[in-house]
Structure 1
Amino acid sequence: MRLGLHKKPKNKGEAQLHIFSLLAILPVTTDWWLVGEQRSGIRHVEPLLSPFGIVTLVDTARRCRLYHFRCILPLPFDLLNYWDRYNYQGLTIKTLPGIFSRDGLDAGSQLLL
């Protein structure tokens, strides 16, 4: 099985949401290959995933890293832990990592409301 994120996550929280949600539904012994630029946060893969399995740095080239990960422990995942909320004029706005208006209502969303 081959899965890939075709767009770069906007932040660490969004990347973690994608990785953990996939880990929760795939078989425990699934092999993962993760690649990314060092300045985009790929180095966070080791501390993020090592509690759940074996993370190995396979190669580095041109400021990128390639990791192999094999999950050993099942990962508990609850989407409710990733929701954030704020209030705007009596409305409760709920949002997930990587979604616009994460920390507060932006001008475009305000105009639409």
Structure 2
Amino acid sequence: MKKRNISLKSKIEIQKIFKEGNLIRFTNLNLKVFYKSNHLIYSRLLVTFSKGFKGAVKRNHIRRLFKEAFRKRLELLEGKAIDIIFVVSYSRLNLTYLNIESLIKNLVLMV
């Protein structure tokens, strides 16, 4: 799968996921996950942050970690076409790659 297919970019589709999608809250990580099945043959991802999340370097680092973990776990989503939105809401959050990878693995198994 090409890297450009992983990102969810359409504003209309993003609003639809927020309105109609399912919500999972991870209160210990200050993280919300919205997901909804899509009409495509592949899954897509969006990582967004609350307005209180300061520091562009930290935001971009966390975004890269999520995308890489998602890309590595795409084989678990074989046959499922879902759109996933992660909303990170606390800037002092200490997320490591291993935490994010296990989070995505558990999320895929729940969906």
Q: Which has the larger radius of gyration?
A: 1
> Comparing both chains, which one has the higher relative contact order based on Cα–Cα distances under 8 Å and sequence gaps of 6 or more?
2
Q: TM-score over 0.5 for the alignment?
A: no
Bigger proportion of residues as helix: 2
TM-score normalised by length of structure 2: 0.26
